[in-house]
Structure 1
């Protein structure tokens, strides 16, 4: 893509499934130095690995977080590295996948993620955060996790947001930093999580996080649909307004693929702008 015009497409799949009944979901990505201090840049893509499972794990059992490296400018896949393997965590609801959103600040990349604390009601999950020096996303030894009081390289990540009831995040949420404040957008906790976007704010990626505040309902097509995956796009924002996208899908998982193939426009992202201001 150059100047908004498509130049060529890449052969698929870029990230083939690592094993039968196991798949990779690309999430956040960024361009960074190949290694700390390097002048050469590469693309790093965070991948969620999930394994087929039964209800309530209809979207797969959380398995691992990986980082793929692609060369520039040809976007040639070079490697895929596991940075956090969660298979030894016996309870799948306590497994954490990182990469739903990235925030860059002062030479660090803050990587946010979440668990599937309540897989049947994902907006009640917990948010976690790790940090990596710029250029170190593909180095598992460079990852530091917030343990509740300090950053450590080998530790069980501790939640920075979510009580499992009134507050919490969906499996996909977004964080931006604006005027020194971190703002998190997610689907609201509880039943409203199917229709309502909530916001939290903090002065640090580790919190304390305040909210939820200023909830709003994005437009939805009629007939059994739900919103999810609110993502901020600061590169499209201007004049104090922030652009958010969100996805739409059918509430019923049975037959959803057939329904989407009949109406492909349903699954396309939708956009809304919000104005950020001091909390009230």
Structure 2
């Protein structure tokens, strides 16, 4: 039996009922500045070959003590050859952290220095990729949504998403404390973004159908994702995951929804185009949208030939005033290129200034 729908609680943006706001009424224009910090810092660290040398996902979480945890999925470690190539024997892990304290970076993995492993060890016949993350328990825990994938054959593309989990770490020692199953029955990867707002944590997921990708929205009260979830039905909230509705087509598996002006800004790669170079922003008056009036924020110059760019999103804790800090990932469809040139498989950062059109 489907669970009964419940209406939004409270007033203001958290109630997901507003339909008109300045964020949507305004016609926004974007100016972009590539190579924003911390791009050069990460590049220089990668060039040393003493730890992390490249990865994707690129989420960030502010930790106590002025630290930033950079959350990565598929990760190369050092060394790096003098000509900027990687040895074919370089370690490759499915997830890792890089911890930033000021201008100092350190790599955090599982295992040992001589035998590093993923922070969340791979299950039989699969692996975990990291998604959005946040702190909980007054900053004492670092919570990362971990997507479990499983192999379906021996080919390079013979794999599929299997389930969502919450990987909980001690935010001081980075030790994995628990791995807890999260809702996974609606074919939604609930890992796109986490946004605290009005006493709730909103969870943004993606229904990935290959050629088409659709955003879905859930939420929990407070900041503990192991507590009961509610799902946006288009008119209210339901405890039934299968009642979740599509809120936007064309989002990337990793994107962001953050406060902007008196509403919300969604930043994503445009997945309506195959291997798109377009980073776009949408605007809404509530955490559930509707997200409308797309504005092109940037075109990634690396896209073309074997090179692809993907999974752009904002880093609201690292904004410079009102300037967004948007990251995106770069990869190659030919894996040998990632060994030939260490600089390809690194995140790029762009400062984006949004202004009202005159």
Same fold (TM over 0.5): yes
Question: Per-residue deviation at 1:112?
Answer: 0.6
Secondary structure of 1:149's counterpart equals coil
Distance 1:28 1:201 in 2: 20
Distance 2:158 2:310 in 1: 14
What does the per-residue CA deviation read over 1:35-70, in whole Å, with 9 as the maximum and x for residues that have no partner?
A: xxxx6731111111122247x993732221110111
Aligned residues: 252
Quote the residue 2:253 is aligned against: 171
Structure number with higher strand proportion:
2
What does the per-residue CA deviation read over 1:23-42, in whole Å, with 9 as the maximum and x for residues that have no partner?
A: 21111111111xxxxx6731
Question: Per-residue deviation at 1:191?
Answer: 2.9
Q: How does 1:68-79 map to 2 (within 5 A)?
A: 68-79=167-178
For residues 102 and 218 of structure 1, do their structure 2 counterparts lie closer, same or farther at Cα, with a shift above 3 Å needed?
Answer: same
Quote the residue 1:96 is aligned against: 188
Question: Per-residue deviation at 1:235?
Answer: 2.3
Confirm whether residue 51 of structure 1 aligns to residue 150 of structure 2. yes
For residues 15 and 46 of structure 1, do their structure 2 counterparts lie closer, same or farther at Cα, with a shift above 3 Å needed?
Answer: same
Structure 2 unaligned regions, length at least 5: 1-98, 111-116
Confirm whether residue 159 of structure 1 aligns to residue 246 of structure 2. yes
Secondary structure of 2:128's counterpart equals strand
Distance 2:271 2:139 in 1: 42
For residues 211 and 49 of structure 1, do their structure 2 counterparts lie closer, same or farther at Cα, with a shift above 3 Å needed?
Answer: farther
For residues 63 and 199 of structure 1, do their structure 2 counterparts lie closer, same or farther at Cα, with a shift above 3 Å needed?
Answer: same
Distance 1:190 1:160 in 2: 15
Confirm whether residue 196 of structure 1 aligns to residue 278 of structure 2. yes
TM-score, reference length from structure 2: 0.64
Confirm whether residue 136 of structure 1 aligns to residue 206 of structure 2. no
Structure 1 unaligned regions, length at least 5: 34-38, 90-94, 163-167
Quote the residue 2:119 is aligned against: 14
Q: What is the aligned counterpart of 2:268 among 145, 161, 186?
A: 186
Distance 1:59 1:202 in 2: 37
Distance 1:30 1:273 in 2: 22
- Asked whether the equivalents of residues 276 and 303 of structure 2 are also in contact (C-alpha less than 8 Å), the reply is no
- Asked whether the equivalents of residues 327 and 348 of structure 2 are also in contact (C-alpha less than 8 Å), the reply is yes
What does the per-residue CA deviation read over 1:67-93, in whole Å, with 9 as the maximum and x for residues that have no partner?
A: 01112321211111111133xx6xxxx
TM-score, reference length from structure 1: 0.81
Question: Per-residue deviation at 1:4?
Answer: 3.5
Question: Per-residue deviation at 1:249?
Answer: 1.5
Question: Per-residue deviation at 1:193?
Answer: 4.7
Confirm whether residue 271 of structure 1 aligns to residue 358 of structure 2. no
RMSD: 2.6
Larger Rg: 2
Quote the residue 1:116 is aligned against: 208
Confirm whether residue 148 of structure 1 aligns to residue 226 of structure 2. no
For residues 278 and 181 of structure 1, do their structure 2 counterparts lie closer, same or farther at Cα, with a shift above 3 Å needed?
Answer: farther
For residues 278 and 208 of structure 1, do their structure 2 counterparts lie closer, same or farther at Cα, with a shift above 3 Å needed?
Answer: farther
Distance 2:264 2:164 in 1: 23
- Asked whether the equivalents of residues 147 and 155 of structure 1 are also in contact (C-alpha less than 8 Å), the reply is no
